Amino acid sequence: MMAAQDFNLLLATDSYKITHYKQYPPGISKVYSYFECRRKKGGQFNEVVFFGLQYLLKKYLAGQVVTEEKIQEAKVLYQMHFKQTVFNEEGWRKVLEKYDGRLPIRIKAVPEGKIIPRGNVLFTVENTDPDFFWLTNYIETMLVQMWYPITVATISREFKKILAKHLKATSGSLEGLDIMLHDFGYRGVSSQESAALGGAAHLVNFCSTDTVAGLLMAQRYYGCPMAGFSIPAAEHSTIISWGKNREKEAFECLLDQFPSGPVAVVSDSYDIFKACKHIWGDKLKEKVMERSEDSALIIRPDSGDPAETLIEVMKILEECFGSSLNSMGYKVLPSYLRLIQGDGIDLNSIDEILEKLSDEGWSAENVFYGCGSSLMQKINRDTLNCAFKCSYVETDGKGMDVYKQPVTDPSKGSKRGRLCLRRNSDGFIETVERGVGKPDEDMLVTVFENGTILQEYTLDEVRKAAQLWEEDVSPAHHNKDDGTTLDIHQKRIMNASMMFDICIPDAEEDLQWV
């Protein structure tokens, strides 16, 4: 796959990097750098989901990315920008002449979807031709934008841990887990590309979304014809356009227009409690009861304190429609009736809501959740402390491990030398520095070399790699970073599609089903 033809990679970097080819020491021939999510003591996340590099490589770096026209465009722009001649025209023309405009760069990376403890190398970048040492960190700017899909995929998986823990504890099953968190984030992100990246990152863990851009990215870049699903649903405009006195007619219209399949109806336009008691639970009660489990009415509150509102609504619905006890002794509304809470949802609130629901005797299976900004926008590069640093160079034929170690902030110290990501004899993932790692133990895979993508992953493969661990479902599981990582021999659980199958990684990390 070729990178976008109208995209000029020469212009996709921080301004100061234009001048860096003049700043390296004489005789330098190799620059080797790496990307990590630094460990932060007491941080909220102790592991990350690696995802999104394949998109960046296919979209922006693969194939011929340098042309004479792009060189000229960059030359003119940087002359105006710096008001002096600092652009490396000669260097870029060498890339064009010697490599037909393809980047003489090698990138080794963790397989996409892998769960890696914070503080470990996730990918490395190096030039493959000594003439182009300056290229390695020129593309840092674009590659560090990997922070976004990694962070969204990680947060989405943390949601999944919380939901799985409560669902298992209150229902005894994980059925339906993969549709319990719906992506409402399309309108809340900063761009179409953010929606695509963030939406696809969420689909690593769930298959419930309203972000069409994420579906398209999964389709075009990760070989998944249809990665997520949605249902007909009302918004306030389709309800209030009937007028306040015709809310019942608005609701009834939804039931009539979508007689089969689930349908979600926002019901707080005026008074959520009256709507549930007098309209859903009285005037339209028979129509609601005629629906089936596969065609459930999903009532959506959209204001007020989430936990208090949900509990009150469920009490009203129980009075009107009844409830039953599941195998774990928790209450469940009739199968034709569910709720979805999409207002005020983040990692803290969803845990609190689920705790309060279970305290009131309700099973987690009664409520779906939607999340927008907290999933896809209220994050930044520092959420996971993402950084790209040089760790090895070669000058005058001699290699040297390099690093930074600021006296004012030891946490910003960087790794040294060539890096290897491996599992040690105790089963823990660790980064081996100073070039002493064994190639046959390295988990990093060469995914890009000299303009060619060498390794691709399907979304199915990414999803399999990102499965939850068994202890993630345990009520005793905590997410604070206590300095420990997960053992290779701990069991993992599948997504809802293979709900109780257990997979155990063997020495080569292949998954075997038992």
Angstrom distance (rounded) from CA 62 to CA 66: 11
The packing angle between helices 147-171 and 347-359, to 10°, is: 0
Q: The sheet that has 492-493: what strands, in order across it? A: 492-493, 502-505, 511-513
Q: Which of 185, 189, 169, 187 is nearest to 177 (CA)?
A: 169
Q: Which of 150, 31, 34, 106 is nearest to 432 (CA)?
A: 34
Query: Can you tell me whether residue 459 is helix, strand or coil?
Result: helix
Q: Which amino acid, residue 330?
A: Y
Q: Angle 375-381-384 (CA atoms, 0-180°, nearest 5)?
A: 75
Question: pLDDT per position in the chain (514 positions), as tens?
Answer: 666 678 999 999 999 999 999 999 999 999 999 999 999 877 789 999 999 999 999 999 999 999 999 999 999 999 999 999 999 999 999 999 999 999 999 999 999 999 999 999 999 999 999 999 999 999 999 999 999 999 999 999 999 999 999 999 999 999 999 999 999 999 999 999 999 999 999 999 999 999 999 999 999 999 999 999 999 999 999 999 999 999 999 999 999 999 999 999 999 999 999 999 999 999 999 999 999 999 999 999 999 999 999 999 999 999 999 999 999 999 999 999 999 999 999 999 999 999 999 999 999 999 999 999 999 999 999 999 999 999 999 999 999 999 999 999 988 999 999 999 999 999 999 999 999 999 999 999 999 999 999 999 999 999 999 999 888 887 644 444 444 444 433 344 444 333 333 233 333 333 322 1
Phi then psi for residue 362, to 5 deg, are: -95, 140
